[in-house]
Amino acid sequence: MTLSFSLLASAGHARRGRIHTAHGTIETPVFMPVGTAATVKAMRPEDVASTGAQIILGNTYHLMLRPTAELIARHGGLHKFMNWPGPILTDSGGFQVMSLTELRKMTEEGVRFRSHIDGSYHMLTPERSIEVQHLLDATITMAFDECTPYPATHEQAADSMRLSMRWAKRSKDAFIGRDGYGLFGIVQGSIYPDLRRESALALQEIGFPGYAIGGLAVGEGQAQMFEALEFTTPHLPDNKPRYLMGVGRPSDIVGAVARGIDMFDCVMPTRSGRTAQAFTRTGELNLRNAQFTDDPAPLDAGCSCPACSKYSRAYLRHLVKAEEILGLMLLTWHNLQFYQDLMAALRRAIEAGDSLSGDADSVVRRLLPPAEA
């Protein structure tokens, strides 16, 4: 039987749920750290789990090229290979191959592209994407789609979305179901309400245990993204998880949860950690800033992660300035902890009947208030 979803509570449009999978249970709303190349960058998997992360994301495009999905399959699948026994969601590879603008050619069949690593030619089709994700042993497999570029005319968006719907059907046909595993469809349609509705209904016609919303957070801005969620989620079933792909900043997540989204992934916390940016209860801090040179305070007094509980901002800034690996290790850890603390606060808030209404930034501050001095 495919993975399943229980809706435990709701408040306004916000939902508190649980996804039951072959690799464990996922409490939603959930944030999935990105583990592109079979590693959440600069983190041991035990430490990722210690932040409260329940599921991570792997990238089909990167893994099929290096070390290859076949190698990972020979080594028992991605869970065993990378020492993450919990659920793993893999993307379809579509988003990444589309971004190889100079190196790919798209047809009805799929996308022919050249590897960014060694220039070798590869073909990614719905069937091949699903096969790769099967070899990786993904708990949640994503249908192969085209992430419609932004901006797009109505005609471009319609053509792109309808191709993705044909690919979604081929993905479903190619998917080999197993107990507690599942294949998610992806709603496209850019910023056009009629296309989003058409896409959502087309996917439900095919039938999936979960639905993602793709093609957002691609430059349209938060207000338009929230608006797109408002006219899309009413066309999605209540009894299936909803995943907003590639989102986002804390306020993006809070606003999307308020509009009925259950799942998120984003490189933001990990990438920011590697570039000295920290998300904290007192705002976003850049540790390169000279104001922290002699600052004895913890990075975020309200946080229990190692970076905050054992070091000063002065020390963290020293590591950043000296380009020490420990600096990006600790900042990555903190940012992942911040995101998981936010998700835990969101889950508690919804359980308590909080519909998360109001300005998203204000809700973030309300959920994670600065610690008392």
**Contacts to a second copy by CB under 8 A:** 37-39, 41-44, 46, 62, 66-67, 71, 74-75, 81-83, 293-294, 296, 306, 310-312, 314-315, 318-319, 321-322, 324-326, 328-330
Distance CA 86, CA 88 (A): 7
**Residue 303: CB minimum distance to a second copy, A:** 16
Tell me the one-letter amino acid at 131: E
**Residue 124: CB minimum distance to a second copy, A:** 19
Query: 264: part of which helix (H) or strand (E)?
Result: strand 263-266
> Exposure string (b/e) for 171-207, b if CB count within 10 Å is 16 or more?
bbebbeeeebbbbbbbbbbbbbeebbbbbbebbbebe
Closest to a second copy by CB, 279 or 292? 292
Closest to a second copy by CB, 184 or 315? 315
**Residue 74: CB minimum distance to a second copy, A:** 7
Closest to a second copy by CB, 3 or 328? 328
Closest to a second copy by CB, 159 or 295? 295
**Residue 313: CB minimum distance to a second copy, A:** 10
Q: Which residues contact 336 (CB under 8 A, 6 or more apart)?
A: 33, 40, 43, 48, 51, 53, 269, 270, 273
Tell me the one-letter amino acid at 152: A
Taking Cα atoms as reference points, which of 145, 105, 106 lies closest to residue 126? 145
- The DSSP string of 218-230 is SSS-HHHHHHHHH
Helix (H, G, I), strand (E, B) or coil at 72: helix
Closest to a second copy by CB, 228 or 319? 319
Catalytic residue (choose from 265, 300, 341, 354): 265
**Residue 221: CB minimum distance to a second copy, A:** 32
DSSP β-bridge partners for residue 140 = 89, 182
265 is catalytic: yes
* 8 A C-beta contact, residue 222 and residue 183: no
Cα dist from 334 to 21, 64, 208, whole Å:
28, 30, 35
145 is catalytic: no
The token duo for 292 is 């922290």
Q: Which residues are catalytic?
A: 91, 265
